[in-house]
A and B are shown apart, each in its own frame.
Chain A
Amino acid sequence: MAARVLIVDHQRNLAEALAYLLRRAGYTVRVAANGADALAAAAAESPDVVLLETSLPDLDGYTLYERLRGEGAGHCGIVVLTANQREAERDKALALGADGYLVKPFDPADLIDRVRVLAAART
C-alpha cells in the first residue's frame, strides 16, 4: 500500500506542484489549505508523513502540530516547511518533535527524499 502524505500549505501553487511530484513518486497525496481541513484529513486518513507550513491563516502552525500529534497522526513523520530561516525557529521545531525543517525555497528533490525516508520508516 502506498504511503500517505498530507500537505498542509495555503500557498496553492506550491501545494499543487508538490502534490503532483509526490503522486508521480508513488504516494497517495492529500492537500489541506488550512488547519481545520488538515485536522479533518488527518483524522480520516492517518497520514504517514505531514508536510506542514507553520504560518496558516486559521491556526498557529505549532498548535496544529500538537493537535495532529494528538489526533490520528501521532506516529506520523512531520516536516516543517517555512519561510522563517532563523536558527531559533529551527531549534524550536526540532525540539517540539518535528522530523525535518525545510526553509523555502527548497529543492523539491530534497523534500521527496525526506518523505521517502520518513515513509519507509512507517510502512
Chain B
Amino acid sequence: MTTKVKLLYFASLREAVGKSGEELELPAGVETVGALRAHLAQRGDGWQALAAGRNVRAALNQHMVGAEAAVGAGDEVAFFPPVTGG
C-alpha cells in the first residue's frame, strides 16, 4: 500500500528549500500536517525554514489548516509563509 502525497512550497519557503514541489511517500508514523512539517525540517539546510518556531502556514487540499490536520494518501499539502496579498 502506498501513501503518496503531493507537496507544494511557495514564496520564500520555496526559495529556502530549493523546489516548488514534490511527491512524497509518507513515512510510517507521519499522520498529521505537523508531523509532516517536522519530518521535512529534519532534512536540514534550507529545510530548517520549516522548523518549529518558524512562521509557516499550511494548506491541506487547498484549505488552510493547523498542525493537527490528518494527512493521508492522495492529499495535496502546501507549506508557505504568511500571505501578503491585497
Tell me, yes or no, whether A binds B. no
Residues of B within 8 A of A (CB): none
